[in-house]
């Protein structure tokens, strides 16, 4: 092991020798070392491949600039840094910045002892322990622009530690992984799955760690892999069962021809035939420009799904909480707990506003935009995901992009026929795509549709092609948005009914039948619901044999 010291500008190595001696006495191991006295010298010497850098903040009298630390951690990602800082930083932003760089092996000068130095040389401090030592709260961590992504430096430490534990007992390896899991939120654990080496993933896949398998399954679902594999398994099982049935009927065996063409049925429910996994659950986001009716669309979808017996929850994460005021304005029975139900939800407590038997609303009335941004989206979802068939999320253009990348299975973008609105909407979608949101999960709803020279294809064209006179013919201005557009008509009578229902709190207002059918089309895309009844024909179950 090689250690580079940057402690002071004295040519005498008394301190380094004391650390080396204490390390041997405590571990019966030793190390090679060299000392540098200026930060520039440290940069040059690190080219000689050191395992550990023990660095003092005021090596050159003044504090090491943040930019230098940032560059150091970028260039030497595998380098373990033990950073000795002044106690004055205990209550300022410098220590938070150091934490967000992934430097967890920090020692305040008041804690500078040989034992503490040796302990940090021997074992990395975990992120969880660093939070405690550096007095970093979860809220402060979320202030970081990239808090929901595991930094390269942290990732390298995780991989090194897990790789070292691969050859130990399974219990030791899993305990290390569990400790890592506990330090990160759901989104970060999902991100880790995309970065772990093959041999670590294989060991985890063969383990019985339920949290790993939960994250792995969610990762596969979000990437469209789980449903595909699930469907293939169902198809192969159904083919086998049908063949077995016909090969043994009336005592006749082995009469199924090898060239049989079989129509497979994966599930029969009442009079409908549909493929629906038992654990089928959807988390769907909705976003739209101002005044296009996004919240109204969400409410109509939630009511329709709820009437069909689906358990639905709506999370209103917008800044103005429109849905709360639409559904609950003037209702004095709503408690403060319910008005801040999202805040409690992220802490694992359920205080929903019950719109009807199957329709629950969660909101944060009166919180500032800054507080909304700090909302722990993944914890809130995890609290209710298994109690609902569908979770609908009302978002806005300033909502955290990472929620849309990792947290929702589909994203519906709502717009009306106003092409001018699409300029801002398209800029937003391009930003999402650049942030890593898969274009395939984005779908378009054209609301307030009326017969005019502009139609839904024109609105789609503003997304898939450059906007005339505003964008150049660049590939960045051509989005691969799902061409299946959903329309919801604008009817004056329907609009009046909705406005009246908001005033008199009537949740049972009758909507025009045409709009009801259009909403049902969207609902069926989200979660299968009842359609017009068809006569059930047992012949549909019989394979067609050429």
Report residue 315: phi and psi, to 5°.
-105, 115
Q: Both tokens of residue 111?
A: 């804690």
Report whether pLDDT(247) > 50: no
What pLDDT score was predicted for residue 391?
94
Residue 347: closest CA among 316, 300, 380, 310 = 380
What pLDDT score was predicted for residue 546?
36
**Given pLDDT bands bounded at 50, 70 and 90, which one contains residue 231?**
very low
Which comes out higher in pLDDT, residue 113 or 10?
A: 113
Report whether pLDDT(4) > 90: yes
User: 32-41, 60-69, 261-270, 425-434: which has the minimum mean pLDDT?
Assistant: 261-270
Report whether pLDDT(367) > 60: no
Q: In the block, which residue shows the tokens 């909480």? A: 321
Report whether pLDDT(314) > 90: yes
Which DSSP helix (H) or strand (E) runs through 394?
A: strand 390-394
What pLDDT score was predicted for residue 467?
64
Report whether pLDDT(264) > 50: no
**How crowded is residue 475: how many other Cβ atoms within 10 Å of its Cβ?**
7
Report whether pLDDT(401) > 60: yes
Q: Which CATH architecture has domain 282-526?
A: 3-Layer(aba) Sandwich (3.40)
Report whether pLDDT(20) > 60: yes
Report whether pLDDT(422) > 50: yes
**CATH topology for 2-147?**
Rossmann fold (3.40.50)
Mean pLDDT computed over 258-282: 41
What pLDDT score was predicted for residue 78?
83
**How crowded is residue 525: how many other Cβ atoms within 10 Å of its Cβ?**
17
Domain boundaries, the chain: 2-147, 154-222, 282-526
pTM assigned to the model:
0.48
Mean pLDDT computed over 321-336: 82
Mean pLDDT computed over 272-285: 58
CA quadruple 97, 99, 103, 107: dihedral sign: positive
Task: List, for residues 469-507, the tens digit of each pLDDT value.
Answer: 565 556 566 666 665 788 888 777 766 766 665 555 555
Q: Cα separations (Å) of 4 from 10, 48, 102, 297?
A: 15, 10, 19, 61
Report whether pLDDT(311) > 80: yes
Which comes out higher in pLDDT, residue 478 or 441?
A: 441
Q: Cα separations (Å) of 56 from 3, 8, 43, 182?
A: 14, 8, 14, 30
CA quadruple 302, 439, 228, 197: dihedral sign: negative
Which comes out higher in pLDDT, residue 374 or 514?
A: 514
What pLDDT score was predicted for residue 23?
93
User: 36-50, 185-199, 275-289: which has the minimum mean pLDDT?
Assistant: 275-289
Which comes out higher in pLDDT, residue 30 or 179?
A: 30
What pLDDT score was predicted for residue 259?
39
Report whether pLDDT(120) > 90: yes
Query: In angstroms, rounded to a whole number, what is the distance separating the alpha carbons of residues 296 and 326?
Result: 9
Report whether pLDDT(7) > 80: yes
Query: In angstroms, rounded to a whole number, what is the distance separating the alpha carbons of residues 482 and 444?
Result: 7
Q: Cα separations (Å) of 297 from 238, 285, 510, 511?
A: 38, 12, 15, 12
What pLDDT score was predicted for residue 452?
73
DSSP state letter for 318? S
Task: List, for residues 154-193, the tens digit of each pLDDT value.
Answer: 787 788 888 888 888 888 888 888 888 777 776 777 778 8
CB-CB contact of 392 with 314 (8 Å): yes
Task: List, for residues 94-111, the tens digit of each pLDDT value.
Answer: 888 888 888 999 999 888
Mean pLDDT computed over 280-306: 87
User: 121-130, 176-185, 305-314: which has the minimum mean pLDDT?
Assistant: 176-185
What pLDDT score was predicted for residue 37?
83
- CA Rg value for the chain: 29
Q: State which of 60-64, 143-147, 507-511 shows the largest mean pLDDT.
A: 60-64
Q: State which of 226-230, 387-391, 451-455, 509-513 shows the largest mean pLDDT.
A: 387-391
Mean pLDDT computed over 392-405: 86
C-alpha 357, offset from chain centre: 29
What pLDDT score was predicted for residue 301?
93
């Amino acid at each position: 092991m090689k250690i580079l010291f940057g402690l002071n500008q004295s040519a005498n190595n008394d301190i380094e020798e004391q650390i080396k001696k204490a390390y041997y006495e405590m571990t019966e191991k030793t190390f090679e070392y060299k000392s540098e006295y200026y930060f520039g010298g440290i940069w040059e010497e690190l080219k000689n491949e050191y395992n550990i850098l023990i660095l003092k903040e005021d090596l050159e009298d003044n504090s090491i600039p943040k930019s230098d630390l940032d560059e150091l951690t970028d260039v030497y990602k595998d380098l373990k840094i033990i950073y000795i800082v002044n106690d004055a930083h205990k209550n300022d932003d410098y220590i938070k910045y150091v934490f967000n760089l992934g430097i967890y092996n920090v020692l305040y000068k008041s804690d500078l002892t040989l034992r503490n130095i040796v302990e940090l040389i021997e074992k990395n401090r975990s992120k969880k322990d660093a939070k405690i030592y550096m007095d970093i709260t979860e809220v402060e961590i979320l202030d970081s622009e990239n808090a929901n992504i595991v930094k390269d430096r942290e990732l390298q430490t995780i991989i090194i530690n897990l790789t070292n534990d691969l050859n130990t007992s399974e219990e030791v390896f899993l305990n290390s992984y569990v400790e890592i899991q506990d330090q990160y939120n759901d989104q970060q654990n999902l991100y880790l799955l995309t970065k772990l080496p093959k041999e670590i993933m294989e060991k985890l896949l063969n383990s019985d760690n339920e949290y790993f398998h939960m994250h792995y399954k969610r990762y596969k679902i979000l990437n469209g892999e789980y449903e595909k594999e699930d469907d293939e398994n169902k198809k192969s099982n159904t083919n086998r069962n049908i063949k077995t049935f016909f090969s043994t009927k009336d005592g006749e065996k082995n009469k199924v021809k090898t060239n049989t063409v079989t129509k497979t049925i994966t599930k029969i429910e009442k009079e409908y035939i549909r493929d629906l996994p038992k654990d089928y659950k959807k988390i769907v986001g909705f976003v739209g420009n101002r005044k296009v009716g996004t919240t109204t669309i969400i409410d109509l979808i939630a009511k329709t799904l709820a009437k069909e017996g689906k358990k639905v929850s709506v999370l209103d994460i917008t800044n103005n909480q429109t849905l709360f005021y639409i559904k609950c304005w003037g209702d004095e029975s709503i408690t403060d707990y319910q008005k801040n139900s999202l805040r409690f939800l992220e802490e694992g407590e359920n205080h929903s506003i019950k719109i009807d038997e199957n329709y629950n609303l969660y909101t944060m009335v009166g919180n500032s935009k800054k507080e909304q941004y700090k909302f722990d989206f993944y914890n809130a979802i995890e609290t209710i995901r298994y109690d609902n068939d569908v979770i609908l999320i009302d978002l806005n253009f300033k909502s955290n992009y990472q929620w849309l990348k990792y947290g929702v299975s589909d994203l519906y973008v709502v717009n009306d026929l106003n092409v001018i609105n699409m300029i801002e909407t398209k800029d937003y979608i391009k930003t999402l795509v650049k942030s890593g949101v898969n274009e395939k999960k984005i779908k378009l709803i054209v609301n307030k549709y009326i017969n005019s020279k502009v139609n839904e294809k024109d609105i789609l064209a503003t997304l898939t092609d450059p906007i005339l006179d505003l964008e150049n013919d660049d590939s960045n201005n051509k989005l691969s948005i799902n061409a299946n557009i959903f329309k919801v008509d604008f009817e004056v009578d329907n609009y009046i009914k909705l406005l009246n229902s908001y005033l008199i709190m009537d949740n049972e207002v009758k909507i025009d039948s045409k709009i009801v059918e259009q909403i049902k089309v969207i609902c069926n895309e989200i979660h299968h619901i009842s359609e017009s009844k068809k006569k059930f024909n047992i012949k549909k179950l019989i394979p067609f044999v050429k």
